[in-house]
């Protein structure tokens, strides 16, 4: 049953929810030097802190599907926002590394619950504009990645006298506000499943289509996260440390133009296979250019990789509400996120292992390039027809 909501209100709520998906998660990297110093963390402990969100995104997505099935997508979204805000604000209590870990788990669990709630809301609120609605909340997600990275060190830390604990609390406030806005403006959906036929929430792991879209999203996420992880050390090892800041900035800011362009074209492109293949091929070419190019080429290729990576991100996120029956959108999304973030955890480890075994910095990019190849290979196998029941 469709939920009555004004289109502009729906778009506002979707965009705000997208912002909240990343605000508290991306608040961590700029604060790691301060946390490292105050809590005397080892590099292993820093790695654990950075890896917790990805593990939770993979492991707790199905819990989000269960909450959507039992309580509705709006209530699941609000619950995820609340957990994210509370956990994010309490990470600095102590300060103690175990409290930091525990509250990071709570924060990441909240995000993991939120992620499978958004595709069903796109289908409920904008059934005729699924691609557009997905592009809107993905644009919010990308903006939510940029704000904390860009503002924490120059503005937020000095404002709070270099307190990383208060900085965490600061980035949790917008998430709490977004939760209140969603709770106030989003219409409540009447239960659409009788007690004798409970809503389905467990992903259909036997569905080849689920594995296709999960592996495609996992491949492109692996390209993005692995490039962020290995670009700095690669450039440093190859004698070009002055390029690190520009390359990382280009990789991340390059995503925004794609998300804005897809606001106009996602509806048309999402139902065709060739855009997925083109984006994957572009990421492959950019990965090779980063390894073998000069300074200008590295920065340009990083920006282009960010652009096409964001493009395919929007398109793949639009697939669950497009290819699933209404009652299956949340569980398809949860399965997709589980597969995807499992890949995003494993591939950087493989890249690091390859580098260690070969002793060649460029070899770390071979698994990244293979992920781009996987996107190109899987694109023609997608079944892009809409299901109505």
CA dist 99 and 301 (Å) reads 40
pLDDT attached to residue 194: 43
* Model confidence, pTM: 0.83
Query: What are the structure tokens assigned to 389, written together?
Result: 């029941």
pLDDT attached to residue 198: 52
Is 12 within 8 Å of 137 (Cβ atoms)?
A: no
Domain spanning 7-185: CATH superfamily: MFS general substrate transporter like domains (1.20.1250.20)
Is 201 within 8 Å of 327 (Cβ atoms)?
A: no
CA dist 306 and 326 (Å) reads 32
Q: Residue ranges of the domains in the chain?
A: 7-185, 208-381
pLDDT attached to residue 43: 66
In CATH, 208-381 is 3.30.2130.10: no
**Block means of pLDDT (10 residues each) for the chain, length 389 residues?**
75 96 89 86 77 88 89 94 96 87 95 93 90 91 87 90 93 97 83 51 90 94 88 86 86 90 86 93 96 92 95 91 84 92 89 89 92 95 66
CA dist 98 and 251 (Å) reads 33
pLDDT attached to residue 298: 94
Per-residue pLDDT tens for 149-172?
A: 888 888 999 999 999 999 999 999
Q: How far is C-alpha 89 from the chain's CA centre?
A: 21
pLDDT attached to residue 389: 45
Cα Rg for the chain, rounded, in angstroms? 20
CA dist 272 and 249 (Å) reads 31
Domains 7-185 and 208-381 share a fold: yes
pLDDT attached to residue 192: 46
Query: Of 192, 227, 169, 216, nearest to 329 (Cα)?
Result: 192
CA dist 333 and 317 (Å) reads 8
pLDDT attached to residue 305: 96
CA dist 67 and 56 (Å) reads 16
């Amino acid at each position: 049953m469709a939920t009555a909501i004004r289109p502009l209100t729906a778009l506002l709520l979707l965009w705000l929810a997208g912002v909240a998906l990343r605000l508290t998660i991306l608040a961590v990297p700029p604060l790691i030097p301060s946390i490292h110093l105050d809590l005397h963390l080892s590099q292993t402990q820093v790695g654990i802190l950075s890896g917790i969100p990805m593990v939770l995104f993979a492991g707790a997505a199905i819990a989000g599907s269960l909450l959507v099935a039992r309580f509705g997508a709006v209530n699941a979204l609000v619950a995820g926002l609340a957990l994210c805000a509370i956990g994010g604000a309490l990470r600095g209590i102590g300060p103690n590394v175990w409290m930091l870990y525990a509250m990071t788990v709570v924060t990441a669990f909240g995000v993991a619950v939120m992620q499978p709630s958004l595709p069903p809301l796109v289908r409920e609120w904008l059934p005729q504009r699924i691609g557009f609605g997905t592009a809107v909340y993905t644009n919010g997600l990308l903006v939510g990645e940029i704000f904390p990275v860009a503002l924490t060190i120059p503005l937020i830390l000095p404002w709070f006298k270099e307190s990383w604990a208060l900085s965490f609390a600061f980035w949790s406030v917008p998430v709490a506000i977004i939760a209140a806005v969603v709770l106030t403006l989003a219409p409540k959906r009447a239960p659409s499943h009788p007690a004798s036929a409970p809503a389905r929430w467990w992903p259909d792991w036997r569905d080849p289509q689920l594995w296709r879209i999960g592996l495609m999203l996992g491949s492109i996420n692996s390209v993005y996260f692995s490039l962020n992880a290995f670009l700095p050390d690669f450039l440093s090892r190859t004698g070009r440390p002055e390029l690190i800041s520009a390359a990382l900035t280009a990789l991340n800011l390059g995503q925004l133009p794609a998300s804005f362009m897809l606001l106009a074209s996602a509806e048309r492109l999402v139902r065709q296979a060739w855009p997925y293949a083109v984006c994957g091929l572009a990421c492959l070419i950019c990965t090779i250019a980063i390894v073998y190019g000069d300074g200008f080429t590295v920065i340009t290729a990083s920006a282009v990789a960010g652009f096409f990576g964001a493009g395919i991100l929007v398109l793949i996120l639009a697939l669950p509400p497009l290819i699933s029956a209404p009652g299956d959108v949340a569980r398809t999304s949860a399965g997709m996120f589980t597969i995807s973030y499992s890949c995003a955890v494993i591939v950087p480890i493989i890249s690091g292992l390859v580098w260690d075994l070969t002793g060649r910095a460029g070899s770390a990019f071979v698994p990244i390039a293979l992920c781009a190849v996987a996107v190109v290979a899987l694109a023609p196998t997608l079944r892009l027809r809409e299901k109505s029941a």
